[in-house]
Structure 1
Amino acid sequence: MKKTMLVEGMSCNHCVMAVTNALKELEGVTDVQVDLDSKKVEVSGENLMDESLKEAVEEAGYDVVEIK
């Protein structure tokens, strides 16, 4: 399963690491790819719940605009 999120507020590699680490802590997440230029975050894994993904990113200090 793969989810793509549009995340606002990321501006540097520190932001990329913060979002990546927050998502990798979630159960079922196997891979996280962040594209700083497009603000897209691709999350791969099993049983990915939109609400859990959004909560993890927002707790790291960023805004989730969309999840597909």
Structure 2
Amino acid sequence: MYQLQVQNMSCGHCVGAVTEAVQAVDAAAKVEIDLATKSVQIDSATPLAALQSAIADAGYPVASAA
């Protein structure tokens, strides 16, 4: 399980775009997003770097990850 802080998310479209970006790398990934805190939780076996890259490529910079 990864916990990320993702910038530039502000609406439902953003949630969909980030979710799609993650699931393009790992279709089985479970994604939970809290817009208020700009927090993204991802349950995936995919390496974190690949997920961060996919989110960034979708236009949402990852501020931090754990």
Scaled by the length of structure 1, the TM-score of the pair is 0.88
Q: Which has the higher helix share?
A: 2
Q: In structure 1, what is the equivalent of residue 9 of structure 2? A: 10
Partner of 2:50: 52
Deviation at 1:30, TM superposition (A): 2.3
Using the aligned pairs only, state the percent identity: 33
Question: How many residue pairs get matched?
Answer: 66
In 2, the alpha carbon distance for the partners of 1:32 and 1:49 equals: 15
TM-score (norm 2): 0.90
Residue number in structure 2 paired with 1:65: 63
If each structure's strand is expressed as a fraction of its own residues, which one has the higher value? 1
1:48-67 Cα offsets, whole Å, 9 max, x none, are: 31211111001110110111
Structure 1 unaligned runs (5+)?
none
SS of 1:55's partner is helix
Structure 1 stretches of 4+ with a deviation exceeding 4 A read none
TM-align CA RMSD: 1.3
Gap regions ≥5 residues in structure 2: none
